[in-house]
Each structure stands twice: as structure tokens, then as C-alpha cells.
């Protein structure tokens, strides 16, 4: 497969699906999108025409039956991932799946077992690992630039809340939003989380309370290597998409600030003025979506393990479940209580 064009089927052509399709068609050499599947026929036809994809199906199983499809990209709602991954594995297709791969530890464990049994590769879409800013932090920490890591700080705030139908199907704040930060914590600190203490409130919109969820949270993490971490989340930052990271260690500190449309600073009598952070996650993480798909393509071609595995997907969910339990029980929760 090293010299051959890698052919993809994309399951789900919503906003994330369109990003991956566009990257595979236009920005990653040696790949081809051979088929698409979606339950919305009009959107499916529009996307297929835009990207010149020859085959479309309302039933994803038809994509899996195509012998020339090497891998699938799953961009459908979370509650569909489990069966799609199992079916794709059984069909011998490599799988890239958006996070989370499921909300159940038992089902994720079954997925990982099936992937190993069938000999295919599964990569989970934690795209922030491939953001140039966060990757720089990771590389500096891994290379010893800050010495022994002591403290991790992650700020992750959305510019506005999602719609109610999304909130109710998302799995909640910790499994939909903070899950990225839980994965980033493990990635940057190169250590497993052993204990979680979380507090959460509804401070942004009563819709979250109606859905049995929260919109604002503070999380404290204890790591196996003795380091400590904090994560703060909000579903509404009026100034834009707020994404910052800091790692402090025995020999120094590394931090990254928000991306902005430009880096100008204007000074007048009232003070200093600059551009607000980018206001949408797809603008903020445009390059990371491209980089993660390139990494998946490279791993499949080289028959190497995917850089973000099903085990990574499992542990992020485990930490998320521990955080939710911590809020409900109003106490620290050890990860070993959950898994």
C-alpha cells in the first residue's frame, strides 16, 4: 500500500466531515475520497458534487462493501461510532474516528479488542495534539526544556454555547468539550491522571440545567508522576475562542497564547488595542485537522501504530467520567474507581 493511492470513504458529511474531505481531496497527496455516506440526501449530493466524489450512499454499510476503499473517516454522531467501527474493522478497513469513540467504557473496550483482533488501525480525532502551538509545548517539555514538569494549566473556553439538541446528545461538558483537555493533559505531561477533583456550575445558559449538564467548570488533576494540573472551561467567552496552555517545571516554563487574525497592537490615549482571538474552532484548528489526517495517512501507509490510539480515546473518556462523578459526589475521584 506504500506506493498506491490510499482510498477513503467518509461517513458523515457535516462540518467536520467537509473539513476532512477537503483535506483528503485537495491537500494530502496520494489520497482519494472514493465514497461518501450520510442520512441527509440533499447535503450528501451537494458535498459529493463540490468535491467530485463518484459514489454516495445513504447506508454506510455500502461504503464498507467497496473493495477499493482502504479506510474510513467517521464523522457521524457519537452514538453511531460503536457499530460503525466494529463493522469497518470486520470489513478490514482502517478507521479514523472523531472523538469520543463512545461514551461507555465497556463499549470502547470492545472496540479496541475488535480493532486488535481484525488487524486494522484506529486513530481517534484529538486534533489539538497536531496544533503547531501545542505541539511546540509538547516537544519542549519532552525535550527537557522546562526540567521536571510540576504544574499544567489549560484554559479552554468556547465563544458561544451549542444548540440544545447538540447538548442533549453530546454526553455532557466533560465528554464533549473537556475531553480534548483531558487528552491534552496526558499528551503534554506524558503521565497518566490518577485523581480528578471537579466543580461545575450552570452560569451561562439555563438550557444546560434543563439538559442535566453544566456550562462552567474547574478541574484539578493529579498525575502519576506527582505533577498537578488545572483545567478551566466555559461555554461562553464573549471575546472569542480562548485556548491557552502552560507547563511549569523545575527549569522553566513554556506557554502559548491565543491565535488571532493578526498580531497588530494599536496604541492611543485610551490604551493598547489588538485583535480578539479567532471566534470558531474550525478557524483556530484549521492546520491541526490537516496535520492529524496526514499523520493517519502516514501511519496506514507505513503500517505503523496510529499516533492517537483507541487506548488514548478510552483514557480521555475515563477521566471525563471521573470528573462528572466528582461534581456529583463533591469529592476527589480516583481514576481507578472508574476503570
Could you tell me the CATH number of the domain that includes residue 44?
3.40.50.720
- Is 224 among the domain residues? yes
Q: How far apart are alpha carbons 33 and 54 in whole angstroms?
A: 8
Instruction: Give the pLDDT confidence score for residue 285 in this predicted structure.
Output: 87
Same domain, 83 and 166: no
The reported pLDDT for the residue numbered 281 is: 75
Residue 284's pLDDT is 80
Evaluate whether residue 262 is within a structural domain. yes
Note whether 177 and 158 are within 8 A (CB).
yes
pLDDT of residue 79: 95
- Tally of CB atoms within 10 A around 332: 14
With respect to residue 110, please indicate whether it lies within any of the assigned structural domains: yes
**pLDDT value of residue 45:** 98
Are 171 and 148 within one domain?
yes
pLDDT at 2 (0 to 100)? 45
Q: Are residues 280 and 133 in the same domain?
A: yes
pLDDT tens-digit profile of 164-198?
999 999 999 999 999 999 999 999 999 999 999 99
The count of domains in the chain is: 2
Domain end: 91, 120, 149, which one? 120
Asked if residues 6 and 30 have their Cβ atoms less than 8 Å apart, the reply is yes
User: Which pLDDT does position 15 carry in this prediction?
Assistant: 93
Residue 71 maps to a domain:
yes
Q: Domain boundary residue among 53, 85, 120?
A: 120
In a domain, 19, yes or no: yes
Residues of the chain with pLDDT under 70: 1-3
Q: What is the pTM of this model?
A: 0.95
* Judgement on whether residues 69 and 193 belong to the same structural domain of the protein: no
For residue 294, tell me if it sits in a domain: no
Cα distance between residue 50 and residue 44, in whole Å: 10
Indicate whether 311 belongs to any domain. Answer: no
Domain that holds residue 22: 6-120
Give the per-residue pLDDT at 134. 96
Q: Are 261 and 185 in contact (CB under 8 A)?
A: no
User: What pLDDT does 158 receive?
Assistant: 96
Q: What is the CATH number of the domain that holds 246?
A: 3.30.360.10
The per-residue pLDDT for 3 is 56
Amino acid at each position: 500500500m506504500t506506493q498506491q493511492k490510499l482510498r477513503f470513504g467518509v461517513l458523515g458529511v457535516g462540518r467536520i466531515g467537509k473539513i476532512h474531505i477537503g483535506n483528503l481531496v485537495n491537500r494530502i497527496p496520494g489520497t482519494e475520497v472514493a465514497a461518501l455516506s450520510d442520512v441527509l440526501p440533499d447535503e450528501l449530493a451537494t458535498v459529493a458534487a463540490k468535491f467530485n466524489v463518484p459514489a454516495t450512499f445513504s447506508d454506510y454499510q455500502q461504503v464498507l462493501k467497496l473493495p477499493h476503499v482502504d479506510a474510513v473517516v467517521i464523522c457521524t454522531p457519537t452514538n453511531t461510532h460503536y457499530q460503525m467501527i466494529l463493522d469497518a474493522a470486520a470489513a478490514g478497513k482502517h478507521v479514523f474516528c472523531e472523538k469520543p469513540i463512545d461514551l461507555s467504557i465497556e463499549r470502547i473496550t470492545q472496540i479496541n479488542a475488535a480493532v486488535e483482533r481484525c488487524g486494522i488501525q484506529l486513530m481517534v480525532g484529538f486534533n489539538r495534539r497536531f496544533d503547531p502551538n501545542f505541539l511546540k509545548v509538547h516537544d519542549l517539555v519532552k525535550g527537557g526544556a522546562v526540567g521536571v514538569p510540576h504544574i499544567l494549566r489549560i484554559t479552554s473556553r468556547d465563544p458561544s454555547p451549542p444548540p440544545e439538541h447538540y447538548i442533549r446528545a453530546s454526553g455532557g461538558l466533560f465528554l464533549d468539550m473537556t475531553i480534548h483537555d483531558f487528552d491534552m493533559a496526558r499528551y503534554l505531561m506524558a503521565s497518566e491522571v490518577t485523581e480528578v477533583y471537579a466543580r461545575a456550575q450552570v452560569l451561562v445558559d439555563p438550557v444546560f440545567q434543563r439538559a442535566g449538564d453544566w456550562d462552567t467548570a474547574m478541574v484539578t488533576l493529579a498525575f502519576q508522576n506527582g505533577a498537578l494540573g488545572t483545567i478551566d472551561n466555559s461555554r461562553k467567552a464573549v471575546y472569542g475562542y480562548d485556548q491557552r496552555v502552560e507547563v511549569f517545571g523545575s527549569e522553566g516554563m513554556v506557554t502559548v497564547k491565543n491565535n488571532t487574525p493578526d498580531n497588530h497592537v494599536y496604541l492611543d490615549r485610551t490604551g493598547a488595542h489588538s485583535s480578539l482571538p479567532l471566534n470558531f474552532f474550525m478557524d483556530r484548528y484549521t492546520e491541526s485537522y490537516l496535520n492529524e489526517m496526514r499523520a493517519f495517512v502516514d501511519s496506514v501507509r507505513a503500517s505503523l501504530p496510529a499516533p492517537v490510539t483507541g487506548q488514548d480515546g478510552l483514557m480521555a473518556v475515563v477521566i471525563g467520567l471521573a470528573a462528572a462523578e466528582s461534581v456529583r459526589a463533591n469529592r476527589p475521584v480516583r481514576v481507578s474507581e472508574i476503570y
